[in-house]
Amino acid sequence: MKQKYYIGELAFKTKKECESYARNIINNLGCCSIDKTHEKYNFFVNLINNHPSCLEKIGSGIDYFYIQPNPLVKKYYQTMIKRTDGSETDFSWVYCCQFKERTNTDDLLRAMRNAIKDDIIKFKQQSTLKCINCKTENELYENYHVDHDNPSFQSLKDNFLQITNKPVPTNFADCDVYKLTIFKDENEDFKNEWIEYHNKNCNLQILCRDCNLRKKKF
């Protein structure tokens, strides 16, 4: 029997068929908000649940979804989540139709990002909210993102993994409150060494949401 691909209870014979179905819904809806009263709300909940980083994307919880023009190519649409804590994030609906499996490497990356989350928030709170690139200011707090300038987060992560003498974790936990991948207590030494390395070597900057999305490669 051939494998089927699902968005909730909707079954598709191929990933291509799944992607075409999702694209038609998004194109027909256009720019709009999709809250719990919307007829397509459950479809988007099931769609984001296919994302390998769904827990990180959902964060504190979904307030509503919304569709906006893609900042890179205006004729296409971008899907977004407004969280219950007021923050927001983009998510690739196409990626949700590719059915990528979460690997140990994915979980390590998530845990390393979450380990420095408090320091990232602290930097944003102590910074002037003005985009270093386009100079946009006076926008809503959530419209500004903290970005790793040279070196990139990826470079910091890779360099640290090369120099650390601590065993690299292979098992992780999910935080009950925020539903994020985190280090287990047994890996506290690795976590603390990573945080110290990151904070000594990172070069953070403030970007507006659009400039940060243009910079992202996902």
Which of 96, 123, 138 is the C-terminal boundary of a domain?
96
What pLDDT, on the 0 to 100 scale, is given for residue 56? 76
Domain count, the chain: 2
91 and 111 in a single domain? The answer is no
The pLDDT tens digits of the residues spanning 30-71 come to 999 999 999 999 999 999 988 877 877 887 789 999 999 987
Q: What is the mean pLDDT of residues 184-196?
A: 96
Contact predicate 34/66, CB 8 Å:
yes
143 and 60 in a single domain? The answer is no
- Two tokens, residue 105: 């490497």
Residue with the bigger pLDDT between 208 and 176: it is 208
The CATH number that applies at residue 61 is 3.10.450.40
**Residue 61 phi/psi, 5° resolution?**
135, 160
85 and 109 in a single domain? The answer is no
183 and 134 in a single domain? The answer is yes
Residue with the bigger pLDDT between 88 and 16: it is 16
Instruction: Look up residue 71 and give its amino acid.
Output: P
What pLDDT, on the 0 to 100 scale, is given for residue 175? 66
Which of 68, 96, 124 is the C-terminal boundary of a domain?
96
Question: For residue 131, is pLDDT > 60?
Answer: yes
Q: What is the mean pLDDT of residues 79-89?
A: 87
What pLDDT, on the 0 to 100 scale, is given for residue 179? 55
Identify any residues that bridge with 65 across adjacent strands, giving them in sequence order: 34, 81
For the chain, percent of residues with pLDDT exceeding 90: 60
139 and 48 in a single domain? The answer is no
142 and 60 in a single domain? The answer is no
The pLDDT tens digits of the residues spanning 62-75 come to 999 999 998 777 78
- Two tokens, residue 28: 């027909």
Query: Residue 38, Cβ neighbours under 10 Å: how many?
Result: 15
C-alpha dist (Å) from residue 9 to 6, 16, 43, 72: 6, 17, 10, 32
Which of 96, 131, 151 is the C-terminal boundary of a domain?
96
What pLDDT, on the 0 to 100 scale, is given for residue 183? 93
What pLDDT, on the 0 to 100 scale, is given for residue 2? 67
114 and 208 in a single domain? The answer is yes
For the chain, percent of residues with pLDDT exceeding 70: 95
61 and 125 in a single domain? The answer is no
Q: What is the mean pLDDT of residues 92-120?
A: 88
The pLDDT tens digits of the residues spanning 140-158 come to 887 888 999 989 998 999 9
86 and 120 in a single domain? The answer is no
132 and 209 in a single domain? The answer is yes
182 and 129 in a single domain? The answer is yes
Residue 204's closest CA among 153, 137, 136, 138? 153
Domain that holds residue 126: 104-215
Q: For residues 164 and 197, give the distance between their C-alpha atoms in angstroms, rounded to a whole number.
A: 10
10 and 48 in a single domain? The answer is yes
What pLDDT, on the 0 to 100 scale, is given for residue 83? 87
